[in-house]
Amino acid sequence: MFKHISKYWWCQITGWFSYFLVNAFLHTGDITESFYGGLLVIIVLGVLFTHLFRMGVKKLDWEGYPMDKQLMFFFWMLVGSGTLIFGGFYAIMRYVVQDEDFAHANPFRGLLGCYLIMTVWWVIYFLYHYIERTRMEKLDQLTLQATVKELELKTIKAQLNPHFIFNALNSIRALVDENPQRARTAITELSNILRSSMAAEKAETVSMEKELNIVKDYLALETIRFEERLNVTYDIDPETLGLQVPPMMLQTLVENAIKHGISKTISGGNVHISSRLKGLQHEILIENTGQFVEKLKNGHGFGLESTRQRLSLLFGNRASFEIRNKDEKMVEARVIMPLL
């Protein structure tokens, strides 16, 4: 039975019962039936009006308002509930109970007493919700950080694709005797990619220029493997090079284009990467030869989903990502982010 009573009602019961005990023990005058009756009336009216006003502020969703508006809520809840409690108490004691002693009492003193009671009640109420809200915000923040960290670690694992590394090493091995200088350059390019993958754990964003350099290293290695089958073009607005983007995001999308587009086409194809300003937004576009099959989850799933999740965690609904078939031969992946 008691398990179904909410914290709010436990606080109401405990608070008003404490109020009754304090008044009963600290009362210096004669304790009469009228005294207990008046105390009971105050408690009943207190429970009634505080509950009604609480329903009102909850309906108005006061927690979503800024602090100055919340303070206004606090003031009017205090004045409104205190005035109604005193008004109800005065009317009942004066005209219903017809207490002779009460008829000669100072009403302003009683009104101030009700305001004092309501000040204590509303301070406790607002303070409890402020502490609870702060605790939940910290909990949400910790959950978000844990989610980001987990997502970053998964992203790092995804970037360290064993097939890509093995293919790159095989390509480099073939170049050792044929073109030693190019082999040394390829080793440097592979090293840059691996280093950036490791560093992605430590940064939420990196500059577009740094991200683009990694993509160029990646595509340079893939060009060794695909040779004439891979044609890469760029259309990069210089003003976007200093803008911040999630680390390894562009590389993930380009790798997706190579893996599910170029590699599945016998004659190879094109990859076009563009970065430009579009009003107050940064638009990144990756176009590649091939066709996007939405139901295909193996390989496509994590890379694309991680892109959506990282954009959502960093920018909320201000960023978007979509991938679609531009026509019968080309796939288009579009990322739009707000300017930081």
Which pLDDT tens digit goes with each residue over 10-41?
888 888 888 888 877 776 666 666 677 777 88
Non-local (6+) Cβ contacts of 334 within 8 A are 283, 284, 285, 320, 321, 322, 323
The whole-number pLDDT of residue 158 equals: 52
Residue type, position 194, single letter: L
Q: Which parts of the chain have pLDDT scores under 50? A: 160, 297-300
Q: What is the pLDDT of residue 1?
A: 53
Give the residue among 74, 197, 196, 58 at the shortest CA–CA distance from 127: 74
DSSP conformational letter for 1: -
Question: Tell me, what's the pLDDT at 297?
Answer: 46
Q: Which two tokens stand for residue 17?
A: 């019962």
Kindly report, as residue ranges, where domains of CATH 3.30.565.10 are found in the chain.
160-338
Read off the pTM: 0.52
97: closest CA among 138, 36, 159, 186? 36
CATH architecture of the domain 160-338 equals 2-Layer Sandwich (3.30)
